[in-house]
Amino acid sequence: MTSRLAEAAIVLLLNGLISPALAGDIAPADKRSGYAFMSRDTQAMQDDDTANPGMLWVLDGETLWGAKAGRAAKSCADCHGDAAVSMKGVAARYPAFDPARARPIDLEERINICRAERQQATPFKWESRDLLALTAFVARQSRGIAIAPPADDRLKPFVESGRALYQQRQGQLNLSCGNCHDDNWGKKLAGSPVPQAHPTGYPIYRLEWQSLGSLQRRLRNCLSGMRADAYEFGAPELVDLELYLMSRARGLPIETPAVRP
C-alpha cells in the first residue's frame, strides 16, 4: 500500500493537486472525523459491534483486564476496578504528561508502565496483539466522549513540536502531513478518501491491514508513503505528533474501534 500511496502522491503532485507549500488549517466549521468520508458499508461495519472486526481485540482486552500477571500477581481490575467506570474518558485525554519522565506518554505506553511497575510483568511489545487488545478495551470505554486534551502548560512545547513535524516537508516527495490532510481532504488518494487526520478511533481496524493497528503504525505508514524515514515505535517524535493530532481533534468523539479502508 505504501508504494501505491507514494505513486499516487507523485501523480497528484505532478498534476498540481498537492502543493508542497505550507498547508493551511482546517476551519472549525469544516472539522470532521474520518468516519464522515467512509463508504456506507464501512460505516455500517464500524457501527455494528457484531460486524466490527475490531471488537475481537476489545474482547481479548477485556480478558486481559481481569487476568493477574507478573510477580505482583495483580490484574488491571485489582487496581482500577470496573473499566466502564474507571477508564471512562481516559482515551479522550491521552497523550498526557508524565512527571516521572518529564514528557508526554500515550495510552499504550501508560499501559506498559503500569504493567512493568505495578504488575511487575514484562511490558508488551509494540503493536503486539495483547497491547493493541488492552489499549482498544480501555479506549472503548470512552466511545462517544469528546476528545479533550489536558489543559497542562507542560504539554505546550510538545504540542508545538508535533505541530512542526506535521507541517514539515519530508521525504523524497517533499510533502508535509498537512499537504494531504489539510489541503486535500475529501479527495481520493490510491482509491481511498483523504481524511483530516483526526485520530478519533485508535486503535483502528484497517481493511488494508486485515488487523487492528495503533496510531503510531499509521503515522509510520504515512511517513513511508512520503518516502521519508519512519521513526521507531515509541519515539518521542511520534508521541508529539499524536499529541498535536489529538489537540486539533478536540471536541470530536472517540470511536474506538473505528474501521477504515
For 103, the 3-state DSSP assignment is strand
Peptide bond into 95 cis (omega under 30): yes
Closest by Cα among 214, 215, 51 to 129: 214
Ordered by where they begin, the domains of the chain are 2-49+148-260 (1.10.760.10), 55-140 (1.10.760.10)
Residue 220 CB partners (closer than 8 Å, separation 6+): 230, 231, 233, 238
Q: Which of 13-17, 95-99, 137-141, 239-243 has the lowest average pLDDT?
A: 13-17
Closest by Cα among 75, 65, 184 to 120: 75
Residue type, 220: R
Q: Is the pLDDT of residue 7 over 90?
A: no
- Among all chains, which residue has been given the C-alpha cell 489543559? 151
Alpha carbon distance 191, 226 (integer Å):
17
Question: What count of Cα atoms within 13 Å lies in the side-chain half-sphere of residue 196?
Answer: 21
pLDDT > 70 fraction of the chain, expressed in percent and rounded: 91
Q: Is the pLDDT of residue 81 over 60?
A: yes
**pLDDT score, position 24:** 58
With beta carbons less than 8 A apart as the criterion, state whether 23 and 176 touch.
yes
Helices (H) and strands (E) in the chain, counts: 11, 7
Output b/e per residue, 185-209; b: 16+ Cβ within 10 A: beeebbebbbbbbbbbbbbbbbeee
**pLDDT score, position 4:** 52
Identify whether 177 is a catalytic site residue.
Answer: no
Alpha carbon distance 220, 226 (integer Å):
10
With beta carbons less than 8 A apart as the criterion, state whether 139 and 89 touch.
no
Q: Name the strand (E) or helix (H) holding 41.
A: helix 40-47
Bridging pattern class, strands 188-189 and 192-193: antiparallel
Catalytic residue among 76, 177, 180, 222: 222
Q: How confident is the model at residue 25 (pLDDT cuts 50, 70, 90)?
A: confident
- Among all chains, which residue has been given the C-alpha cell 487476568? 67
pTM: 0.90
Q: Mean pLDDT throughout 32-57?
A: 97
Closest by Cα among 6, 166, 146 to 89: 146
Q: What is the pLDDT of residues 225-249, one digit of tens each?
A: 999 999 999 999 999 999 999 999 9
